[in-house]
Structure 1
Amino acid sequence: MKKIVLTGAAGALGTVLREPLSRSADELVSTDIAAQPESLLPNETWVQADLAKFDEIEPLMKGAEMVVHFGAVVDEKPFPELLGPNYVGAYNVWEAASQHGLRRVVYASSVHAVGLWENNADVDVTAHHRPDTFYGLAKCFAEDMGRMYWEKRGLEAVCLRIFSCTPEPQNARALGTWLSYGDLTQLVTRAVETPTTGFAVAFGVSNNDRSPIKDHGAHFLGYRPRDNAEDWAETLLAKAQPDPTDLAQMRLGGPFASVALGESGMAGIRALSGGDEEE
């Protein structure tokens, strides 16, 4: 490809994706509200921009074939704090991509679009939305918008419902929900390189023995996850404190399923894990 745009490029997952995406195009335009890092890749350009401002996002799409949209506030917040970056920002990306004739949006959706489904429900990509937070609701909004832009304007979209993406699984929940950085890279790369996709939803999980989903829905992309959280099972299960009355342990969304609307879900994940986690 001639050009790919990556939003959220300064985030934990955006940082992981910059190098592999740079190999998929002649030019990678990385953008974030954060300032440019100290070093860039040889074919990478950095643009500091606010997702909530259409006039800052629209020019980035000129000449691009795809946008990999990972920019967002990655936590539950009061609705007004998410409205700009997560809701309006998603619209701005899709509308700008449509105006400039891009082929596809690859979107970082989340398990939290279906976070109130039970762990034992054998959820697959056909399950209806059950968001656990305003954050999850933003993912539902963007997925539905992606389908609409495909059906009304022919702009393809692959919405990747990412679970617990960290270098290693951090807690007992992650024995099912972990997505390794290697598998994340493979999933996004396949979503970019597959010739045609139409509109699609796929779950971002590794090859975990305890995966709570029936089918990750990404086979048509050629995604074959390689890593398995079971390698950490003995250590993580020894730390577990089972409680069947705790929604955080019984629902796909984990701690996001148990917090009050507008309150941080990441705080619960950090307390459970002892570290950071992206979902």
Structure 2
Amino acid sequence: MKKLVLTGAAGRLGSHLREPLSKLCDELISTDIADDIGTLYDGETYVKADLASYDEVHAALEGAEMVVHFGAIGDEAPFEQILGPNIVGAYNVWEAAFKHGARRVVYASSIHAVGMYPKNEFIGTDVPHRPDTYYGLAKCFAEDLARMYWEKRGIEAVCMRILSCAQVTNARAVGSWLSYDDLIQLVTRAIDTPVTGFSVVYGVSNNDRAPVDNAAASFLGYRPKDNAEQFAEEIFAEAPRMDPQDPGHMCHGGPFASVELGHSGTATMGIVDDRKKT
């Protein structure tokens, strides 16, 4: 591939994607709103761009064959804050991709698009949206936008509903963990699969207790290798007793299912900021 664009390059997940993506193309354009993202990899260029600005997004995507769209506010927040980067930003990415003739957008969607389903329901990629927050609602918007741009304008999309791509620090993550190695494999398969149309796939590792079904996305060739069961005994021994009446314990969205709208869902999750340094 000649040119690939990565949004959200300064974020934790983006930091782990930059190097492998730089090896898949002649030119990687990494974008974010940070002033810089450290030392660049071979073939990588950094462009500061605000997702809420169509002009800045349009300029960053010029010549791109594909876009890996990870940029957004990564937590629940008031709707007015979500609106710009997460909703308007999604429109700007797909519209700019269309105007520049890009053929596919690989999108970091989220389990929070369906976060209110009970965890004892083994859900597939075809379940109706059931968002748990404004953050999840924005993911629903972007998935529907992606489907519309495929059906009306022929832009392919792979929407990756990531469960929890972070170190395993809580009981929920024993089922929902997506390791960085499996994240890289998932994004790579979303890029190198010859034809995808509009597709949804869950971003989760090969966990014994994974609560979602990726059978309908098997054509992507995503075969995760890591398994959070290795952490189960220690995590369960230390975790407080869970309440089956608490949506935060019973629903796929975890804490996002129980917080008040507009309030942080990650505040109690113990996420370790282990972004890759360059």
On whether the aligned pair clears a TM of 0.5, the verdict is: yes
1:197 and 2:196 correspond: yes
SS in structure 1 of the partner of residue 85 of structure 2: helix
**8 Å contact from structure 2 (residues 32, 71) kept in 1:** yes
1:184 and 2:189 correspond: no
Please identify runs of 4+ aligned residues in structure 1 that moved more than 6 A: none
Counterpart mapping for 1:118-267 below 5 A? 118-166=118-166, 168-215=167-214, 217-240=216-239, 241-267=241-267
SS in structure 2 of the partner of residue 227 of structure 1: coil
CA distance in structure 1 between the partners assigned to 2:168 and 2:263 by the alignment: 24
2:11 equivalent in structure 1: 11
* 1:44-99: CA deviation from partner (whole Å, max 9, x where unpaired): 00001100000001012211100000000001011001100000000000000000
CA distance in structure 2 between the partners assigned to 1:107 and 1:3 by the alignment: 17
CA distance in structure 2 between the partners assigned to 1:68 and 1:170 by the alignment: 27
What is the TM-score when the length of structure 1 is the normalising length? 0.96
CA distance in structure 2 between the partners assigned to 1:199 and 1:61 by the alignment: 20
SS in structure 1 of the partner of residue 236 of structure 2: helix
Q: Aligned in 2, Cα 1:277/1:91: closer, same or farther, shift over 3 Å? A: farther
1:57 and 2:57 correspond: yes
- Report deviation, 1:268: 2.4
1:79 equivalent in structure 2: 79
Name whichever of 37-46 and 252-261 sits farther off: 37-46
- Report deviation, 1:37: 2.3
Instruction: Report the count of equivalent residues.
Output: 274
**8 Å contact from structure 1 (residues 269, 277) kept in 2:** no
Counterpart mapping for 1:263-274 below 5 A? 263-270=263-270
CA distance in structure 1 between the partners assigned to 2:13 and 2:60 by the alignment: 20
Q: Aligned in 2, Cα 1:23/1:93: closer, same or farther, shift over 3 Å? A: same
Counterpart mapping for 1:22-101 below 5 A? 22-101=22-101
- Report deviation, 1:276: 5.2
SS in structure 2 of the partner of residue 126 of structure 1: coil
The percent identity for this pair of structures is 63
Q: Which amino acid in the other structure matches residue 208 of structure 1?
A: N
- Report deviation, 1:262: 0.5
RMSD: 1.3
What is the TM-score when the length of structure 2 is the normalising length? 0.96
CA distance in structure 1 between the partners assigned to 2:215 and 2:56 by the alignment: 34
Q: Aligned in 2, Cα 1:125/1:277: closer, same or farther, shift over 3 Å? A: farther
SS in structure 2 of the partner of residue 242 of structure 1: coil
- Report deviation, 1:214: 2.7
- Report deviation, 1:38: 2.7
Unaligned runs of 5+ in 1: none
1:106 and 2:95 correspond: no
Q: Aligned in 2, Cα 1:209/1:268: closer, same or farther, shift over 3 Å? A: same
CA distance in structure 1 between the partners assigned to 2:57 and 2:130 by the alignment: 30
* 1:183-203: CA deviation from partner (whole Å, max 9, x where unpaired): 000000110111110000000
SS in structure 2 of the partner of residue 120 of structure 1: coil
CA distance in structure 1 between the partners assigned to 2:68 and 2:117 by the alignment: 27
- Report deviation, 1:35: 1.5
Name whichever of 210-219 and 185-194 sits farther off: 210-219
CA distance in structure 1 between the partners assigned to 2:222 and 2:18 by the alignment: 19
Q: Aligned in 2, Cα 1:277/1:249: closer, same or farther, shift over 3 Å? A: farther
* 1:6-53: CA deviation from partner (whole Å, max 9, x where unpaired): 000000000000011011100000000011123101100000110000
**8 Å contact from structure 2 (residues 178, 204) kept in 1:** yes
